[in-house]
Amino acid sequence: MNIYSWNVNGIRSAIKKGFGDWFNAQKPDILCLQETRADEDQVPEDIRNPEGYFAYWNPCKRKKGYSGVAVFSQIEPDTVNYGFDIEEFDEEGRVLQLVFPDWVLNSIYFPNGGSGDDRLDYKLRFYDAFLENSRRWLANGKHVVTLGDYNTCHKEIDIARPKENENISGFLPIERAWMDKYVENGFVDSFRKLHPDERDRYSWWSNRFGARKRNVGWRIDYAFVDEDLVPNIVSAEIHSDVMGSDHCPISIELEPPFAPLPISHDEDLV
């Protein structure tokens, strides 16, 4: 089962740059999109409801043309959740959660913390709400797979200019410390698990100063899985040759079936 994720930085813009051709050629089992920046009725029908897929859209409710996520899946989920049931986070259209019999897929566009202290606080609280949600799914016996734009580089190996960016949101110590906490709670960066020492592998580049051409980038798009799913990882890739956005797609291939997880008896989680 192959799952792709791509921050398209505006689905209407990406369509003009060949998104449809790429999607039709790739035909992933599941495609997660972030920063769609459009309502469903603003997207052509062949992209809004692609043939052979169950399509789910979650646009931003607070502001037109901002944020938004979508998922196209060849596998029908049991349930679809459009957030964490926390209004301040859900109104920005950042989460689509597909619930399957033995696992949960999250497509998430995590907030950027670069617009001041209030927004950084919002980002960190969103992170914590997400982690609590993920821990609850595990406690209820479901694996958790989360793809998306996390908006943080975890390690120095994940960014081309670590020293120059250590005071910039996306590489702040407090953001990176949350990524550490995420890993400590049993979640695994699939790309780094399979490619522990690979450098110069990025998923986002500034549109300024020819950053992409010079490969001065950041790896902020991830496919994380719970640690019990690590044996099921077949591949995890970054597709930096694919154009159409300031981000490139990432992918993970997982081999089912997934081993059952025990149900927790912790009343705070179940």
Rounded Cα distance, 188 and 209, in Å: 33
Q: Which residues contact 190 (CB under 8 A, 6 or more apart)?
A: 222, 223, 224, 225, 233, 236, 252
In degrees rounded to 5, what are phi and psi of residue 107?
Answer: -110, 115
Burial of 8 (0-12, 13-18, 19+ CB in 10 A): buried
Q: Amino acid identity, residue 43?
A: V
Rounded Cα distance, 188 and 180, in Å: 10
The two three-digit tokens of residue 237, written as one number:
């890739």
Of the residues 21, 39, 149, 158, which is catalytic? 149
Nearest one of 200, 172, 38 to 112, comparing CA atoms: 172
Rounded Cα distance, 179 and 156, in Å: 13
For the sheet with 143-149, list strands across it: 79-81, 95-99, 103-109, 143-149, 221-226, 187-189
- Residue 149 annotated as catalytic: yes
Q: Which residues are catalytic?
A: 149
